[in-house]
């Protein structure tokens, strides 16, 4: 009887060993799925750019405003600064002459949706409608279609980035300097935050629909110029992108080289940045 037990025991051990060899471990299977789920994709998202030189891009969201945007345009002209305006389609339709003026004066006009919804919570068809309506409004006002998109609130999924880039040709533009001017902290605070956070290659977020932001800009421009910064549009900044040395370590606030497939920091949420 003991011989049968010994034989059965040996057979069980052999079967168990063969089973282990035949079945991959959960960790290996998981790693395989993860590798396949992250294919390489082109660099289409920027919150800053690695550049050789003191170049920055000032960006203004949510306009045009009938009263404030013309004041900002006057100020930009006085300083010989070119900026990028991420416009709301509804506002473009109401004030096409302001958008036309901005484009004629050398500023870049870019898509910021038709009515400022949260793309990350919308169907593809609704997002597509928001983009197309704004694209058409900008084309009607300026004669030129935009090439950049800033999603409202900075909210956009990785899948949305890819199909939007494929269909519209847009680069997705976020930011690395946010003065939270939508909270209306006052011109002095807006200026101080921009001056503290801005570095070469920065994309500075602000809004031309808040009076305090416009009030902050004269001294902000003066002090940025005194620091040696030079102002370009976002598309110009991207074209200036320099190769980052392979041994370089990420900087706080994170400049992103053009090969990046997404922002290096978490995407701002509507709760933290409703003005984006």
Coil, helix or strand at residue 172: strand
Binned at pLDDT 50, 70 and 90, residue 31 comes out as: very low
Q: In the structure, what pLDDT confidence band is assigned to residue 100 with cuts at 50, 70 and 90?
A: very high
Taking 90 as the threshold, does the pLDDT of residue 41 lie above it? Answer: no
SS (H, E, C) 2-50: HHHHHHHHHHHHHHHHHHHHHCCCHHHHHHHHHHHCCCCCCCCEECECC
Catalytic residue positions, numbered: 61, 207
Lowest mean per-residue pLDDT among 36-50, 86-100, 185-199: 36-50
Asked which of 26-35, 45-54, 98-107, 178-187 is least confident by mean pLDDT, the reply is: 26-35
Residue located via tokens 């949510």: 62
Arithmetic mean of pLDDT over the chain: 82
Between CA 259 and CA 100 the distance in angstroms is 32
Averaged pLDDT, 227-256: 74
pLDDT-based confidence at residue 242 (cuts at 50, 70, 90): confident
Is this model's pTM higher than 0.85 or not? no
**Residue 232 pLDDT greater than 90, yes or no:** yes
Higher pLDDT, 91 or 266: 91
């Amino acid at each position: 009887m003991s011989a049968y037990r010994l034989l059965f025991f040996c057979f069980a051990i052999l079967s168990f060993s063969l089973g282990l060899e035949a079945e991959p471990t959960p960790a290996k299977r998981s790693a395989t799925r993860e590798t396949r789920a992250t294919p390489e994709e082109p660099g289409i998202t920027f919150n800053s750019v690695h550049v050789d030189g003191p170049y920055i891009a000032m960006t203004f969201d949510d306009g045009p405003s009938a009263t404030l945007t013309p004041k900002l345009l006057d100020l930009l002209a006085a300083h010989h600064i070119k900026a990028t305006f991420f416009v709301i389609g509804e506002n473009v339709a109401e004030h096409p002459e302001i958008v036309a003026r901005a484009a004629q004066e050398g500023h870049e006009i870019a898509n910021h949706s038709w009515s400022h919804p949260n793309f990350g919570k919308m169907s593809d068809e609704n997002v597509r409608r928001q983009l197309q309506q704004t694209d058409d409004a900008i084309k009607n006002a300026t004669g030129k279609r935009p090439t950049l998109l800033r999603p409202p609130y900075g909210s956009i999924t990785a899948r949305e980035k890819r199909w939007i880039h494929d269909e519209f040709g847009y680069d997705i533009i976020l930011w690395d300097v946010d003065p939270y001017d939508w909270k209306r902290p006052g011109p002095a605070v807006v200026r101080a935050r921009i001056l503290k956070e801005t570095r070469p290659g920065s994309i500075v977020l602000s809004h031309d629909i808040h009076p305090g932001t416009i009030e902050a800009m004269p001294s902000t421009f003066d002090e940025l110029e005194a620091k040696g910064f030079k102002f370009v549009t976002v598309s110009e900044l991207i074209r200036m992108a320099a190769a980052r040395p392979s041994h370089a370590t990420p900087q706080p606030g994170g400049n992103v080289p053009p090969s990046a497939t997404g922002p290096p920091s978490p995407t701002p949420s509507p709760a933290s940045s409703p003005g984006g």
